[in-house]
Amino acid sequence: MPEVIEAGFTHGMDGQFGPVRDRRGFEAGGPADVLAPCSVLAELTGQARDRMGELSDDELVGIMLAARRVASWQTALELEAVNELAARRMAEPIGSGPQPGERAAAELAVALTLTGRAAEGLMSLALGIERLAPVRDALARGEIDLGRAKVLADELAGLDTQAAFCIATAMMISAAGLTSGQLRDRLRRKVLAVDPDAIRRRQTDARADTRVQAWNESSGNAALAGRELPPAEMLAADRHISALARALKAAGVPGTMHQLRACVFLALLSGRDPATILDYQARQADDDPDAATEASPDAATEASPDAATESSPDAATDRSAAQHNRPDQTDGTGRHGTLQWPSGPRGSVNLTVPLSAWLGLTDRPGQVAGFGPADAWTCRDIAASLAQAKGVRYCMTVTSPDGQPVGHACSHTAPPGPAPPEPNAVAVWLSQLKVTWLNRGEGCSHDLETAGYRPGGRLAHFVRLLNPTCTAPGCRRPAVGCDLDHLQPYDQGGLTCSCNLHPCCRRHHRLKQQPGWRVEMPRTGVLLWRMPHGRSYLGMADPYPV
Q: How far apart are CA 352 and CA 360, in angstroms?
A: 15
Whether the pLDDT of residue 278 is over 50: the answer is: yes
The answer to whether residues 283 and 237 touch, using CB atoms and an 8 Å cutoff, is no
- Would you give the distance in Å from CA 166 to the centre of its chain? 25
Q: What is the mean pLDDT of residues 435-451?
A: 79
Q: How far apart are CA 97 and CA 224, in angstroms?
A: 39
Please, what is the average pLDDT of the chain?
A: 79
Decide: pTM greater than 0.85: no
Q: Which amino acid is at 208?
A: A
Q: What is the mean pLDDT of residues 94-103?
A: 81
Whether the pLDDT of residue 460 is over 80: the answer is: yes
Q: What is the mean pLDDT of residues 154-180?
A: 93
Q: What is the mean pLDDT of residues 47-68?
A: 88
Q: How far apart are CA 168 and CA 204, in angstroms?
A: 24
Considering only residues 420 and 401, tell me which one the structure prediction assigns the higher pLDDT. 401
- Residue 1 makes CB contacts below 8 A (sequence gap 6+) with 56
Q: What is the mean pLDDT of residues 77-94?
A: 92
45 pLDDT tier (thresholds 50, 70, 90): confident
What percent of the chain is modeled with pLDDT above 70? 79
Q: Which amino acid is at 223?
A: A
Whether the pLDDT of residue 440 is over 80: the answer is: no
Q: What is the DSSP letter of 219?
A: T
Q: How far apart are CA 10 and CA 19, in angstroms?
A: 10
Q: What is the pLDDT of residue 226?
A: 94
Least confident of 258-272, 301-315, 488-502: 301-315
Residue in 413, 407, 419 with CA at minimum distance from that of residue 392: 413
411 pLDDT tier (thresholds 50, 70, 90): confident
With b for 16 or more beta-carbon neighbours within 10 A and e for fewer, the 303-338 pattern comes to bbbbbbbebbbbbeebeebbeebebeeeeeeebbbe
Q: How far apart are CA 251 and CA 257, in angstroms?
A: 13
- Give CA separation, 34 vs 1, 43, 69, 394, in Å: 21, 15, 10, 47
Q: How far apart are CA 456 and CA 450, in angstroms?
A: 6
Considering only residues 167 and 545, tell me which one the structure prediction assigns the higher pLDDT. 167
Q: What is the mean pLDDT of residues 258-271?
A: 91
* pLDDT tens-digit readout, 180-225: 999 999 999 899 888 878 778 888 888 888 999 999 999 999 999 9
Q: What is the mean pLDDT of residues 445-466?
A: 89
Q: What is the pLDDT of residue 363?
A: 83
Whether the pLDDT of residue 353 is over 70: the answer is: yes
The answer to whether residues 408 and 435 touch, using CB atoms and an 8 Å cutoff, is yes
If 0-12 CB within 10 Å is exposed, 13-18 middle and 19+ buried, where does residue 474 land? middle
Q: What is the pLDDT of residue 342?
A: 59
Whether the pLDDT of residue 292 is over 70: the answer is: no
* pLDDT tens-digit readout, 20-33: 443 322 233 467 77
What pairs with residue 504 in β-bridges?
483
Least confident of 120-129, 261-270, 409-418, 472-481: 409-418
Considering only residues 194 and 390, tell me which one the structure prediction assigns the higher pLDDT. 194
72 pLDDT tier (thresholds 50, 70, 90): very high
- Give CA separation, 312 vs 319, 365, 369, 454, 479, in Å: 11, 26, 15, 10, 10
Least confident of 73-82, 141-150, 210-219, 394-403: 394-403
* pLDDT tens-digit readout, 120-164: 999 999 999 999 999 999 999 999 999 999 999 999 998 999 999
228 pLDDT tier (thresholds 50, 70, 90): very high
- Residue 101 makes CB contacts below 8 A (sequence gap 6+) with 86, 89, 90, 123
Q: What is the mean pLDDT of residues 360-388?
A: 82
Q: What is the pLDDT of residue 339?
A: 55
